[in-house]
């Protein structure tokens, strides 16, 4: 499957992406984004959305949509936010912990630059650095990047960027590429939903 992903799987994956992204955009983003936009604007000056260039399938650069979680600064594309980064706003910290800042990426899924499931897309600087550290790192770019992925449900989402973490992420991403199937996608989505409602929902209590 690595050399030529089955056409039937790719068609079903795209149908799943379109169906879910349309439902989320229509039923959730249509009312939640305006609310979050007001909170972001009241909390700090700057745009509601944070647009960043990321590396997609086959190394193609695309614009990734996120909600802005930091004060406007010139280092956002060079230095990713650390755990206690002073650039993170009050509302931004809530958005990052809850992962609500990633909701606009359903627009990326609708447009076709991302999928629901796949390796997370890195920003340009990180992708170049990780590719130099891990031989064959570009193999993970054989499929579209995803909002969630196998390495994320295995616990490598909000961790640091030391070599062991980078290598472990790559191993899980490579495993996904080699074994990609609709069944695996559905299992990852189910696991992602479970993690969200059992761990992240606690921040609202």
- Local mean pLDDT, 10-residue blocks, the chain (205 residues): 71 97 97 97 95 95 96 82 85 92 97 97 92 94 96 78 88 95 96 81 48
| Residue-range domain boundaries for the chain | 8-200
| CB atoms closer than 10 angstroms to residue 23 | 11
CA angle 133, 139, 143 (to 5 degrees): 135
Q: Look at residue 204 in the predicted model and tell me its pLDDT.
A: 44
Q: Look at residue 4 in the predicted model and tell me its pLDDT.
A: 56
| CB atoms closer than 10 angstroms to residue 99 | 17
Q: Look at residue 43 in the predicted model and tell me its pLDDT.
A: 95
What count of Cα atoms within 13 Å lies in the side-chain half-sphere of residue 60? 11
Q: What is the pTM of this model?
A: 0.90
Q: Are 72 and 45 in contact, with CB atoms under 8 Å apart?
A: yes
Give the C-alpha separation, 44 to 25, whole Å. 25
Inter-CA distances, 168 with 94, 124, 161, Å: 27, 20, 10
Helix locations, the chain, DSSP H: 7-24, 30-43, 90-98, 105-111, 124-133, 150-153, 163-179, 182-198
């Amino acid at each position: 499957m690595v050399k030529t992903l089955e056409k039937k799987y790719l068609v079903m994956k795209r149908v799943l992406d379109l169906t879910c992204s349309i439902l989320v955009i229509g039923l959730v983003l249509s009312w939640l984004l305006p609310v979050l936009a007001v909170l972001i604007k009241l909390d700090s000056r700057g745009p509601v959305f944070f647009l960043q260039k990321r590396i997609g399938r086959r190394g193609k650069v695309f614009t990734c949509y996120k909600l802005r979680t930091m004060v406007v600064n010139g280092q956002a594309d060079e230095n990713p936010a650390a755990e206690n980064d002073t650039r993170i706003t009050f509302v931004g910290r809530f958005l990052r912990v809850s992962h609500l800042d990633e909701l606009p990426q359903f627009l990326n899924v609708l447009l076709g630059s991302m999928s629901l499931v796949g390796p997370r897309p890195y920003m340009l600087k990180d992708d170049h650095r990780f590719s130099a550290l891990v031989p064959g790192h570009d193999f993970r770019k054989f499929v579209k990047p995803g909002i969630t992925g196998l390495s994320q449900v295995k616990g490598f989402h909000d961790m640091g960027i030391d070599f062991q973490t980078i290598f472990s992420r790559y191993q899980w991403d490579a495993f996904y590429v080699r074994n990609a199937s609709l069944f695996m996608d559905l299992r990852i989505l189910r696991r992602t939903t479970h993690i969200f409602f059992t761990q992240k929902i606690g921040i609202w209590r």
